[in-house]
Amino acid sequence: MKVLVFIKDSREALETFRIVEEVLKREGVKYKKFVNKPKLSKKLRPKGYGLILVIGGDGTFLSASRIASRFGIPLAGINEGRFGFLTEIQREEIHELLPLVLRGEAPLLRRLMIDVYLRRGKKLLYLGNYLNDAVLSKSTLARVIRTEVFVGEEKIADVFGDGVILSTPTGSTAYALSAGGPILYPEARNLLFVPICPHTLTNRPLVLPSESVVSFRVASGDLRAFLTLDGQEGKALLEGDEVLVKRSRYECLTYAHPRKSFFSILREKLKWG
The 3-state DSSP class for residue 31 equals strand
The 3-state DSSP class for residue 226 equals strand
Rounded to whole angstroms, how far apart are CA atoms 8 and 230? 16
- The residues assigned a catalytic role are 58
CB–CB of 120/213 below 8 Å?
no
Select from 67, 18, 61, 30 the least CA-distant residue to 45.
67
H or E, element range at 60? helix 58-71
Rounded to whole angstroms, how far apart are CA atoms 209 and 206? 10
Select from 238, 252, 244, 146 the least CA-distant residue to 200.
146
Number of Cβ within 10 Å of residue 179's Cβ equals 20
Select from 134, 154, 136, 133 the least CA-distant residue to 145.
136
